[in-house]
Amino acid sequence: VKKQGGRYARQARPVERTAVLGAGIMGGGIAYQSASKGTPILMKDIKEEAIELGLKEARKLFAKQVERGKFSVEQMAERLTNIRPTLSYGDFAGVDLVVEAVVENPKVKGAVLAEAEDAVGEETVLASNTSTISITRLAEHLKRPENFCGMHFFNPVHRMPLVEVIRGERTGDAAVAATVAYARQMGKTPIVVNDCPGFLVNRVLFPYFGGFSQLVAQGADFRRIDKVMERFGWPMGPAYLLDVVGMDTAVHAGEVMAEGFPERMADMGSAGGKSAIQLMVDHQRLGQKNAKGFYAYE
Ligand code: NAD
């Protein structure tokens, strides 16, 4: 981990126009956060329904801020216009920084980043919100790897202060500087970390999910585990946290972690050869995103 003092701040180019690829849990949250802090953002997805959901979520978050008296209705309407939904790369040429937040799959991310690179300007920074995939590996899909780094937000984006800015082997200082600056503009606390599967937080978190999955496979009650971890002092237990993260995303990320750290991730708690988290996906219990995970949601 490298502490970033003024070094990156001094090198930052202004980040005035931005874009996010993917309007899911994370893309929608990133769009809201950028818009609420006054930085315009294009929100691109491949599905109209996803864009609608992303916008609905942003509207809901803005409405809460109005309720709390942080924004007037007029301010909310004005900030909302900072989010420009789109299904095409039409307006990407003038964008300073693009955050990629599509599904956690190295092939899909590689292809999406390569097509985005063709649509943006020579100096545009591309940043991936991947939870686990090595930035150096994703950079292999790009012609300008020096303009690429990780920008890993946490869920829910509007509440979690930390952003990991990940420096791949070929990432240049200017890309790190712009990404650190954008994170600060969004009111977040960036830390610059070196590249490895899972970076810092998920390198710690995934073996914990593995331990949880193992206990469940051995017959432990997930509700009790959650209660115990809350008593221990964590704001929520692992089952609830997995519901927030999304079970499918956790499985994809777990696969990347298992490839990177086979010994540590060897036993995710197999039940009939599958982890408890994979079994949840098989039963379409994806978590809060489809209103049923370990717990049921309205
Ligand atoms: P999600 O399933 O909610 O959303 C993914 C979105 O990407 C969908 O709307 C999908 O339509 C869209 N998409 C797929 N292909 C696309 C393409 N070619 N172009 C544009 N959009 C495309 O997933 P999510 O939870 O928002 O996760 C997105 C990324 O953020 C993943 O890399 C994930 O690992 C990472 N992340 C997730 C969390 C979390 O807690 N869920 C936390 C931090 C980081």
Same domain assignment for residues 66 and 180: yes
Cα–ligand 1 centroid distance for 105 (angstroms): 9
pLDDT for 259-294, tens place per residue? Answer: 999 888 876 655 556 788 999 999 999 999 999 999
Q: Is the CB of 24 under 6 A from ligand 1?
A: yes
Could you tell me if 157 and 196 are in contact, meaning their C-beta atoms sit under 8 angstroms apart?
Answer: no
Domain boundary among 139, 160, 194: 194
Give this complex's ipTM: 0.98
Which has the higher per-residue pLDDT, 4 or 208?
Answer: 208
pLDDT band at 4 (very low <50, low <70, confident <90, very high): low
- Residues that are catalytic: 152
- The CATH number given to whatever domain includes residue 245 is 1.10.1040.50
Cα–ligand 1 centroid distance for 281 (angstroms): 16
Same domain assignment for residues 173 and 208: no
Same domain assignment for residues 65 and 169: yes
Cα–ligand 1 centroid distance for 44 (angstroms): 11
pTM: 0.91
Same domain assignment for residues 112 and 206: no
| Closest approach atom of ligand 1 to CA 104 | 32
Q: Strand 274-275 to strand 83-86: parallel, antiparallel, or no bridges (unpaired)?
A: unpaired
Cα–ligand 1 centroid distance for 133 (angstroms): 13
294 belongs to a structural domain:
no
d(CA 198, CA 135) in angstroms, rounded, equals 10
Same domain assignment for residues 127 and 255: no
Cα–ligand 1 centroid distance for 103 (angstroms): 4
Same domain assignment for residues 174 and 214: no
Q: Is the CB of 18 under 6 A from ligand 1?
A: no
Q: Is the CB of 130 under 6 A from ligand 1?
A: yes
112 belongs to a structural domain:
yes
Q: Is the CB of 245 under 6 A from ligand 1?
A: yes
Q: Whose CA is nearest to atom 36 of ligand 1?
A: 131
Same domain assignment for residues 168 and 32: yes
Task: Return the minimum-mean-pLDDT range out of 6-15, 143-152, 175-184.
Answer: 6-15
Same domain assignment for residues 208 and 69: no
Q: Please tell me the predicted confidence (pLDDT) of residue 160.
A: 95
Q: Is the CB of 64 under 6 A from ligand 1?
A: no
Same domain assignment for residues 189 and 208: no
| Closest approach atom of ligand 1 to CA 253 | 34
175 belongs to a structural domain:
yes
- The CATH number given to whatever domain includes residue 124 is 3.40.50.720
Q: Is the CB of 157 under 6 A from ligand 1?
A: no
The mean pLDDT of 116-128, rounded to a whole number, is: 97
The mean pLDDT of 121-129, rounded to a whole number, is: 97
297 belongs to a structural domain:
no
Same domain assignment for residues 166 and 59: yes
Same domain assignment for residues 213 and 269: yes
Cα–ligand 1 centroid distance for 78 (angstroms): 26
Q: Is the peptide bond before 156 cis (omega within 30 degrees of 0)?
A: yes
Q: What range does the domain containing 261 cover?
A: 201-287
Q: How many domains does the chain have?
A: 2
Geometric angle at alpha carbon 107, from 21 and 46, rounded to 5°: 35
d(CA 249, CA 253) in angstroms, rounded, equals 6
Domain boundary among 194, 227, 249: 194
The mean pLDDT of 183-191, rounded to a whole number, is: 97
The mean pLDDT of 158-169, rounded to a whole number, is: 97
Q: Please tell me the predicted confidence (pLDDT) of residue 1.
A: 44
For residue 33, what are the CA distances in angstroms to 57, 67, 160, 261? 11, 17, 11, 33
123 belongs to a structural domain:
yes
| Closest approach atom of ligand 1 to CA 102 | 7
Pocket mutation for ligand 1, best pick of 32, 46, 100, 102 (most atoms within 8 Å of C-beta): 102
pLDDT for 190-243, tens place per residue? Answer: 999 999 999 999 999 999 999 999 899 889 999 999 999 999 999 999 999 999
pLDDT at 72 over 60: yes
Same domain assignment for residues 154 and 83: yes
Domain boundary among 160, 194, 228: 194
111 belongs to a structural domain:
yes
Q: Is the CB of 19 under 6 A from ligand 1?
A: no
For residue 122, give the amino acid letter: E
For residue 122, what are the CA distances in angstroms to 26, 72, 145, 174? 26, 39, 11, 13
For residue 217, what are the CA distances in angstroms to 75, 168, 257? 50, 36, 20
298 belongs to a structural domain:
no
219 belongs to a structural domain:
yes
